[in-house]
Amino acid sequence: MNMGTIRQLLLLTDGCSNAGEDPAAMAAYALQCGITVNVIGIVDDSGRAEGLQEIEAIARSGGGESRIVRAQSLSETVVNVTRQAMTGTIYSIINQELREILNNDARVESLPPEKRSEIAEKVEEISEEAALKLLILTDISASMKKKLPAVKEALYDLSVTMQSRSGDSSFSLWTFPGKYSAAEERISWTSDAKKLAESFPQLASGGITPTGPAIRQALSSFLEMDEYDEKTI
Amino acid sequence: MKKRYEAVPGEILYGKWTGHKWHVEREIGRGANGIVYLVRGAIGQAALKFADSSAVAAETNTLQSLEPVRGFSPGPFFIEADDVEKNGVIYPFYIMEYIDGLMLHTFMRSKKKEWSFIILLRLLDFLAPLHQSGKIMGDLKPENFIVSGSAHLIRAVDMGGITKLGRSVKEYTALYDRAAWHSGTREAEPSYDLFAATVLTVALVHKNEVQEVSGRIDRLVDIIDSSLVLRKAAPILKNALHGQYDCALTMKKELLVCLSGREALRKRKKQKKKLRKWPVLFIILTVVCVLFLLH
């Protein structure tokens, strides 16, 4: 099976959006474009978490994973969520194929457990070898101030893991809110994951959190890339 | 996140594919990717784990691949995989051997600190056959191990992190992860586990201190040097932190020697051997010289 490229958007935020389109709708749009949206909500030490429901809703409509964690365990969560979402993406492609071959509600769970184990073996291979394009969209609104060092550390960590994989990986970093638009590209597509953590942006001022528009803008980065690919072909 | 099946004690679960019945006794574990229950079926007590179908399938493969290791498995024996179907929703699960014993950190709570070395030795025994079978543990943390029986064997109860050699580690916990300590990659190789086992040992004795310095390897070494308990094995622990071992059994051997305080003795023996060699060489040389002169 030719897997092509697994495309993911990882949203790191600490609260509710308060401006622009519904982020869950934008995540659903991303999924339609073939991009899985994962969300990690970072909570304070007090464990107070606002916008939990929104975080779950974004991930659900984006076909991805969601987690709520404290800043200390962000690193391992970012890596684990990225991995699980890759597995999830591969499974959803398999499910789609099964539906076409068998019938409308067929999915991996319709097969007996022994067959699933064979599939799992294959999935593991693919997720190790497939190309990954991962866009990280980080909330840098004022409330994230204390959490940004942890985000930086997590991105460094992610780069270490992805370099141990045998497939190609490329990364891009976007932040929101931006100075002149909802979101800004900080690092354009690069296979050098270390860049992610090296040039980490300053905090933005202002209290708006335009999560929805930010997702929409960041998606353009995937779409532009596709156009570019077509031209080169 | 997909919906989880929450079973209650006393409930009977029907396996869709095998038709087997499992009587739920109690919950015994809960993690990021599943819930484990103690159940009783026709075969007796067993552990049942609910997780999503990809996790069930992947863990089934891992458990089955571990078994050929000398009829003894470092983890629980795999029994079967099945589904519960309720209101049209499928909840995959698998059944494995129930390992009775204490979780590593619970075990240590009632013991003196010296036991941390026994735990490390047993962990190395656990890791050796696993590494030989071409895999590493990956997520090596106290919660994933059980100390069982009077021989204090260590067995894993969560196999989610087990990774084939050469791949990138599937799952890990930052506190025990060598990349998070800036001491190497996250590539699956024996030295990755040996690093984690060492941090785990230090953390068994000085949990809070280790958490405080997390990520700074030089401070971790300071903890070892200033610890009355750990000082005895300091050279070995440091070697492991610096990735000097690529074999669990080599580390175990050196640890045993180090703990017995025989290091000095061995050096003396070496000197003796050298001394003994000199007269022999001398005699051979003189014989050669004499023969040469005679000619």
- Provide the shortest C-alpha distance from residue B235 to chain A (in Å): 28
Cα distances (angstroms) measured from residue A32 to each of A20, A26, A37, A61, B287: 20, 10, 11, 10, 90
Contact A85, A77 (CB under 8 A): no
Q: What are A82-140's pLDDT values in tens digits?
A: 888 888 888 888 888 888 887 777 788 888 998 998 999 888 888 888 899 999 999 98
Residues listed for chain B: 295
Closest chain B residue by Cα to residue A156 = B180
Task: Give me chain A's average pLDDT, please.
Answer: 83
Which of A65, A67, A95, A109 is the best residue to mutate to test the B interface, defined by the most B CB atoms within 10 Å of its own CB?
A: A109
Is pLDDT above 80 for A220?
yes
Q: Is the pLDDT of residue B64 over 80?
A: yes
pLDDT bracket for residue A231 (50, 70, 90): very low
Q: What number is the ipTM of this complex?
A: 0.71
Asked if A121 lies within 8 A of B61 by C-beta distance, the reply is yes
A53 in contact with B, Cβ within 8 Å? no
Q: Categorize the per-residue pLDDT at B292 as very low, low, confident or very high, splitting at 50, 70 and 90.
A: confident
Of B1, B80, B179, the CB nearest to A160: B179
Measured between CB atoms, does A56 come within 8 Å of chain B? yes
What local confidence, expressed as pLDDT, does residue A50 receive? 65
Q: Which of B1, B94, B170 sits opposite A65 (nearest CB)?
A: B1
Q: Is A116 left (phi over 0), alpha (psi -120 to 50) or beta?
A: alpha
- The pair of structure tokens assigned to B263 is 């290091």
Beta sheet of B102-103, edge-to-edge order: B102-103, B145-148, B153-156
pLDDT band at A162 (very low <50, low <70, confident <90, very high): confident
What H or E segment, with its residue span, contains residue B208? helix B207-213
DSSP E strand boundaries for A126-209: 131-139, 169-176, 184-190
Say which of B139, B158, B177, B193 is annotated catalytic.
B139
Per-residue pLDDT band for B49 (boundaries 50, 70, 90) equals very high
Round to whole Å and give the CA distance between A138 and A149.
Answer: 12
**Can you give the residue ranges of every domain in chain A?**
5-232
Instruction: Name the strand (E) or helix (H) holding B17.
Output: none
Q: What is the DSSP letter of A168?
A: -
**pLDDT in the model for residue A230:** 43
Residue B272 has pLDDT above 80, yes or no: no
pLDDT tens digits for range B16-27: 999 999 999 999
End-to-end CA distance of chain A: 21
| pLDDT grade for A4, boundaries at 50, 70 and 90 | confident
Per CB-CB distance under 8 Å, the chain A contacts of B82 are: 113
Q: Give residue B285's pLDDT band: very low, low, confident or very high (50, 70, 90).
A: confident
A38, A158, A164: best to mutate for the B interface, most B CBs within 10 A: A164
| Domains in chain B, CATH or no CATH each | 12-96 (3.30.200.20), 102-259 (1.10.510.10)
More confident residue, B45 or A46: B45
| Closest by Cβ to B60, choosing from A75, A117, A123 | A117
Is B218 marked active-site?
A: no
Question: Is the pLDDT reported for residue B80 higher than 80?
Answer: yes
- Does the pLDDT at position A1 exceed 60? no
Task: Answer whether 0.90 is exceeded by the pTM.
Answer: no
Say which CATH architecture domain A5-232 belongs to.
3-Layer(aba) Sandwich (3.40)
Question: Residue B159 has which token pair?
Answer: 């196999």
**Chain B residues within 8 A of A119 when measuring between CB atoms:** 57
> What is the per-residue pLDDT across A52-75, written as a single tens digit (0 to 9) for each?
788 889 999 999 988 888 888 888
Decide if A47 contacts A70 (C-beta within 8 A).
Answer: yes
The whole-angstrom distance between B62's CA and the closest CA on chain A is 10
Determine what percent of chain B is predicted with pLDDT higher than 90.
59
Q: Which of the four pLDDT bands, split at 50, 70 and 90, describes residue A191?
A: confident
CB atoms within 10 A of CB B217: 17
The number of C-beta contacts closer than 8 angstroms across A and B is 85
Residue B148 pLDDT > 80: yes
